[in-house]
Structure 1
């Protein structure tokens, strides 16, 4: 008999030890779960705030800059109309005509005016193409565009597949919770009222794609179930469920980080970041941008007047081909900046 008592003791001890380990593991999983929920909530709030700042800044810039953009668009149309009138009403030698076309195309290529054909005659358009023909560059550009296209397609497909999987999980969890908490499935008025409020939360989380919140509602429901903490099977089942949920939450957290990173890398996101930095230094970045726009408008207006003077034959062909004074001053400034950069690279000393 004593031998039997001794042999039973280790078995009882090992069961207690196994349960103890499971309880420790369960406690760690629950802490990790709560930590992930907090991280997701913070990251979602950060993403929503950043997107709202992007919208707000874009709206502000649009409202303030619209009159300036309208002026630039009107000037752009005027310049194209002036060149069209020059080409159709004045006669030039072949070389002079090519030089004027080159000047016109240069204004387009530098972004001062919008791209547009000098005129619609196929023969003359082909002459313009010949002036700037570079088959090797075109081939390189085509290859580069092709690579960019495939890279973007792969990124889109990867993102799309990821979102489809997330949508599937969200829908599955939503349907499961709707089956549990639908108010029409209960008769008791108090339970009906409670389930109605829970369903509001479930619907809100589903509409916002908040998988973390749906999982938390599911977990709260599971905690309300009768689970025997002394049962190894029950504790193991809870650990397994938590492990699965935590993996899903980790994936969601990484997705939110990626969305925020992508938002910050957009032109609009970069504007928000620059605006924040400027605001810390007491600088009105929007005001500076509007001043820059006004400066550009003045330059384009000078170019318009210069072309108008040529149309009215107030300046010679030689002066016209030399380009507008505003453009010449811009070139001089660019050369000065280039020289300054060279001086810095060579330690401030250039040996001739």
Structure 2
């Protein structure tokens, strides 16, 4: 009796090698996609937190340091007025007059008092040369600010030039707008819900935030359905993810640059310094207020010194030597400078 051969069971055919490769490639792209979305979300949160800290610190400084700044501004005006009175009402020899003017200029150059406006008095060309360095420093500061804004404009212009990126963002926006437009539903409750979602969609679109649009899409489970056994579906999905991932990488790089630019601003540097100080248990705000109070003490001493000179309670020789607090400050600065030079010299000596 002949043996019966077993009939093949009606199972689905095994996937081809091309399909297997597509499945592996699609899985890798989806993993990269999810990772990029998480990185962008974390970086966006980091930026928002940093900007919020900048605002908080600026508000705290304004509230706590405003009385000190106001007092310093009042003292500054008094010192300028005293110098003007001394130079216009008292009679000095030519050299003494020059020495007093030179002392006045030095206080302005050193930043102890503000530079006087050019309209106050006729300027001396020789003394004007003393202000060349601060002017250069101001130009340097302005150059830094221009570089900061140029960098921001460069980021914005490079984003606008990517037509593929803009097209992909617009496509995602239109797909979401088609689904969530409030006019497409009748009941008031759904309309209210769709209105709020559309606000998020519009905001993300205006900011060119593809990651947020994709988050909304995933949140409401609106991703495209594909046939895992269809090579065309898998290929289309892979191509779509590749395009999205490239845009997300660019968006992540832009967020990193935005955070870097924020940290390089004076306000950002203050936040970074405040964080470092807090790690070491240092009250940076209290320290800043103490420094301001020390500066006020020096300015008060200068104001009193000028008043004594105006009332002729000290001689011209004593006046030209400067107030004791300023002399001790210069001595401390010289000591610090010498210490730094000695440390640098010791570091270069090889035994």
TM-score range, shorter chain: 0.7 to 0.9
Matches of residues 95-174 of structure 1 in structure 2 within 5 Å? 95-117=95-117, 120-122=120-122, 125=123, 127=124, 129-133=125-129, 151=147, 154-162=150-158, 164=160, 168=166, 173-174=172-173
Q: What is aligned with 1:77?
A: 77
- Distance in 2 of aligned mates of 1:331 and 1:197: 63
* Residues 145-154 or 90-99, more deviating: 145-154
- Unaligned ranges ≥5, structure 1: 1-11
Q: What is aligned with 1:237?
A: 236
Say whether the 8 Å CA contact 1:101–1:118 is kept in structure 2. no
Q: What is aligned with 2:9?
A: none
Change (3 A) 1:343 1:121: closer
Q: What is aligned with 1:8?
A: none
- Distance in 1 of aligned mates of 2:292 and 2:135: 35
- Distance in 2 of aligned mates of 1:134 and 1:312: 29
Say whether the 8 Å CA contact 2:86–2:310 is kept in structure 1. yes
Higher percent of residues as helix = 1
* Residues 72-81 or 39-48, more deviating: 39-48
- Distance in 2 of aligned mates of 1:61 and 1:145: 22
Change (3 A) 1:221 1:117: closer
Matches of residues 140-219 of structure 1 in structure 2 within 5 Å? 151=147, 154-162=150-158, 164=160, 168=166, 173-186=172-185, 195=194, 198-203=197-202, 205-206=204-205, 210-218=209-217
Q: What is aligned with 2:317?
A: 318
Q: Secondary structure at the match of 2:342?
A: helix
Q: What is aligned with 2:246?
A: 247
Q: Secondary structure at the match of 2:129?
A: coil
Say whether the 8 Å CA contact 2:100–2:320 is kept in structure 1. yes
Shift of 1:275: 1.6
TM-score (ref. length: structure 2): 0.82
Say whether the 8 Å CA contact 2:155–2:254 is kept in structure 1. no
Shift of 1:154: 4.6
Q: Secondary structure at the match of 2:112?
A: coil
- Distance in 2 of aligned mates of 1:212 and 1:61: 36
Q: What is aligned with 1:51?
A: 51
Say whether the 8 Å CA contact 2:54–2:267 is kept in structure 1. yes
CA deviations on 1:42-81 (whole Å, 9 max, x unpaired) are 1111111111111111111111111111110000000001
TM-score (ref. length: structure 1): 0.82
- Distance in 2 of aligned mates of 1:296 and 1:215: 54
| Paired positions, count | 334
- Distance in 2 of aligned mates of 1:79 and 1:114: 10
- Unaligned ranges ≥5, structure 2: 1-12
RMSD: 3.6
CA deviations on 1:124-168 (whole Å, 9 max, x unpaired) are x0x2x3135389979988997897687557534412313545895
